[in-house]
Amino acid sequence: MNNGALNWDDLRVFLTLVQTGSLSAAARRLGLSQPTVGRRVQALERALDKRLFERLRSGYTPTAAGEALVPLAESMATAAEAVARRRAESDELAGTVRISAGASACRFLCSRVGTLLDGLPALSLEIAASSQFTNLSRREADIAIRNRLPERGDLITRVVAHPAVAAYASRDYVARHQVELGSESREPADWARWDWVDYDEARQHLATARWLAARAKGARRRVACSTPAEKLDAVKGGAGLGLLSCYAADGDPALQRVSAPIPELRGSTWLVVHQDLRRVPRIRAVTERLVDLFRENAELFDGKRPIAPAR
């Protein structure tokens, strides 16, 4: 083995390549070029005088020496992440707080951002839409808002809402097709009569897609989308009925709710913060504002607006 000091950046690239299995995927995650990733791995192999990967057609697979190096790289990654979180700590109520949430939750937050920042002139927010669970340990965000719990991590979680889901259509679609409106105690007579906006094949495992497949057998899926925001826009565009979160759809004057909230589709919204950051003043202040914001809009999330006739 070479006696040269190991470069942490090379170890970080090594660990990412182990996790992703390909130069291109590792490069995307790290924000580097593929040649740079390749050079970093080669530099680490020279420093250790060991071959760390089998270069196969299917991707990069760690050798025995590579597998032995993984625990050390993971320990160093954990330590580096902890140092980064400590650097983020400040006693001042100032700086930027990064929030990661799904697309619908981002729209909800952005439309109320004045409330979140009122009286906090030295704070700014970054609000990013993501369908993946952001890694708070690596400080990809300071606060995450998600519809499921993270699988692991030193995280503080809190339920802030139980969003209701109902069927919606554009007011024009309701009028043209004479869609029968449900009520709080009665559903439309025949779900399969109407055109539907649904998720695409890659997302048929999601609860709304499974519910629709079971309750509206034979219905025509007129448009297939990949995100809730796309579904909402396609329903607004008159493509058919769609299952949408009430908090995202009830405030839109172009949409008509055609069913009561569907009990089996009610979910949970979690606010998640890394435990090392929960007492940082700027993050604590925004967390408290978020909790208040969700509480103040509980009826919107509960879908308590009555079904009104199409105009």
DSSP notation for 3-49: -SPPPHHHHHHHHHHHHH-SHHHHHHHHT--HHHHHHHHHHHHHHHT
Q: Is 29 exposed, middle or buried (0-12, 13-18, 19+ CB in 10 A)?
A: middle
Domains: count for the chain: 3
Mean pLDDT of 152-179: 89
Residues 174 and 257 in one domain: yes
Residues 140 and 278 in one domain: yes
Domain boundary among 40, 60, 88: 88
In the three-class reduction of DSSP (H, G, I as helix; E, B as strand; rest coil), residue 153 is classed as coil
- Does a structural domain hold residue 213? yes
Output the pLDDT for position 3: 45
Residues 172 and 247 in one domain: yes
In tens, the pLDDT along 293-304 reads 999 999 999 998
- Does a structural domain hold residue 252? yes
What CATH code is carried by the domain that includes residue 151?
Answer: 3.40.190.10
Residues 179 and 261 in one domain: yes
- Does a structural domain hold residue 174? yes
Q: Which tokens hold the place of 31?
A: 């924000």
Lowest mean pLDDT among 49-53, 185-189, 200-204, 259-263: 185-189
Mean pLDDT of 138-155: 79
Mean pLDDT of 257-263: 91
Greater confidence (147 vs 87) lies with 147
Name the residue range of residue 256's domain: 165-265
pTM score above 0.85 = no
Residues 138 and 282 in one domain: yes
Residues 126 and 105 in one domain: yes
Lowest mean pLDDT among 37-41, 56-60, 206-210: 56-60
By percentage, how much of the chain surpasses pLDDT 90? 49
Count the Cβ atoms, other than its own, within 10 Å of residue 54: 12
Output the pLDDT for position 290: 95
- Does a structural domain hold residue 301? no
Mean pLDDT of 49-65: 90
Asked if pLDDT for residue 221 goes beyond 70, the answer is yes
Output the pLDDT for position 103: 87
Residues 169 and 250 in one domain: yes
Residues 110 and 179 in one domain: no
Residues 249 and 175 in one domain: yes
- Does a structural domain hold residue 303? no
Residues 71 and 113 in one domain: no
